[in-house]
Amino acid sequence: MHAWMREQLIGLSVKSWDELMRAITLGANMVEIKFEKFAENGTSFYVYRRNGRFYPDRKNLGRLTSIAEENNISIQSHLPIERCVDVNQETGINVGFLSHHEPALRRFVMLEEIYRERGIFSVNTVHPPTISFDGRQILGIDEALENARIFFEKLDVIRLREKHQTLIGVENQTSPKFMAACLGDHSDHFKKMLRNTRTIGTTIDSGHRLLAEHFTVTELLGFSLPPVNFHFHGNAGEFRLQDFDDDQHMLPTQENVKGYDNYIRYFCRHRTPIVLELSHLEQYSNKELIDFIANLKRETE
């Protein structure tokens, strides 16, 4: 089927069962599960042990699968964001370190196995390696890029050999902050990390793009690295060095998304999934979100 003939997936990023069910009532045909946020709200879809292995939670996965099947919605995932450097906890896994590669590889293999068994987590977004916390550098940029390249090439070999069906998107980031800085704020980071892969794509985040001086979507697309996902949201475009309050994750509009019309044209042609990644879903009324999703569907027809 030609890309423009596929159904456009438009969904919401969700942090709990309540937000998931609300997204369905709003007319979304896809949701992106924030793994660490669900865990903070009492639901884990898998457990990570100190032995570096992941163990799926069949009960919670079963509940999620049933909801997806009953409501005919697609389920994506967003992997946990790094909070530290500690291979013994999932939020400490950083592929900028060679010693962290094995558990990180196992996580993607587990997600593929879940997809084959249950049909969920078809698209999985991951951040590039973190290189500093609280103003303290933990990795040099060149070292992090090289080790990330090695990791994604290892993962690519596994995916090609085992004929993986899931999609993986590495997400662009804001310019470095004092609290934390990741790779992915320069377009060429993606070329260096992913240049030798065949199965790893990108997740393009419109909000992060507005807060990154050295990143452009046009340049990234020029590297022939396929976007598998879009995080579509806006902000005021006023970069703050000290925190992440500038990354406001608002409903996208002509005023708060650079090149809004270009995104719409891309969606119309390529039908790449659109995740409305809103920080505070509770601040929007049902009517406001229903109208927005319906209008976005019309714009992308």
Segment 150-172, tens digit of pLDDT: 999 999 999 999 999 999 999 99
First CA to last CA across the chain, in angstroms? 16
pLDDT digits 0-9 by tens, 175-190: 999 999 999 999 999 9
pLDDT digits 0-9 by tens, 63-90: 999 999 999 999 999 999 999 999 999 9
In this predicted structure, the answer to whether residue 1 has a pLDDT above a threshold of 70 is no
Is the residue at 210 inside a domain? yes
- Number of independent structural domains in the chain: 1
In this predicted structure, the answer to whether residue 173 has a pLDDT above a threshold of 60 is yes
Longest dimension (CA), the chain: 49
Question: How does 258-273 read in b/e, with b if 16+ C-beta sit within 10 Å?
Answer: ebbeebbebbeeebbb
Is the residue at 109 inside a domain? yes
In this prediction, residue 5 has a pLDDT band, given cuts at 50, 70 and 90, of: low
Residues 125, 165 contacting (CB under 8 angstroms): no
- Mean local confidence (pLDDT), 263-289: 95
pLDDT digits 0-9 by tens, 8-27: 999 999 999 999 999 999 99
Is the residue at 301 inside a domain? no
Q: What is the pLDDT of residue 7?
A: 86
Is the residue at 257 inside a domain? yes
Q: What is the pLDDT of residue 133?
A: 93
The three-class DSSP label of residue 15 is: coil
Helices 58-71, 17-25: inter-axial angle, 10-degree rounding: 10
Question: How does 116-149 read in b/e, with b if 16+ C-beta sit within 10 Å?
Answer: eebebbbbbbbbbbbbbbeeeebbebeebbebbb
Question: Mean pLDDT, the chain, as a whole number?
Answer: 95
- Mean local confidence (pLDDT), 110-132: 98
Distance of CA 133 to the CA centre of its chain: 21
Percent of the chain's residues with pLDDT above 70: 98
Any idea what the CATH number is for the domain that residue 54 is in?
3.20.20.150
Is the residue at 156 inside a domain? yes
Q: What is the pLDDT of residue 128?
A: 98
In this prediction, residue 3 has a pLDDT band, given cuts at 50, 70 and 90, of: low
pTM: 0.96
Is the residue at 152 inside a domain? yes
The CA-CA-CA angle for residues 270, 292, 252, to 5°, reads 70
Is the residue at 198 inside a domain? yes
Percent of the chain's residues with pLDDT above 90: 93
Across 1-10, 34-43, 107-116, least confident range: 1-10
In this prediction, residue 6 has a pLDDT band, given cuts at 50, 70 and 90, of: confident
What residue numbers bound the domain in which 211 lies?
Answer: 3-296
Residue 170 tokens read as 């590495």
Is the residue at 54 inside a domain? yes
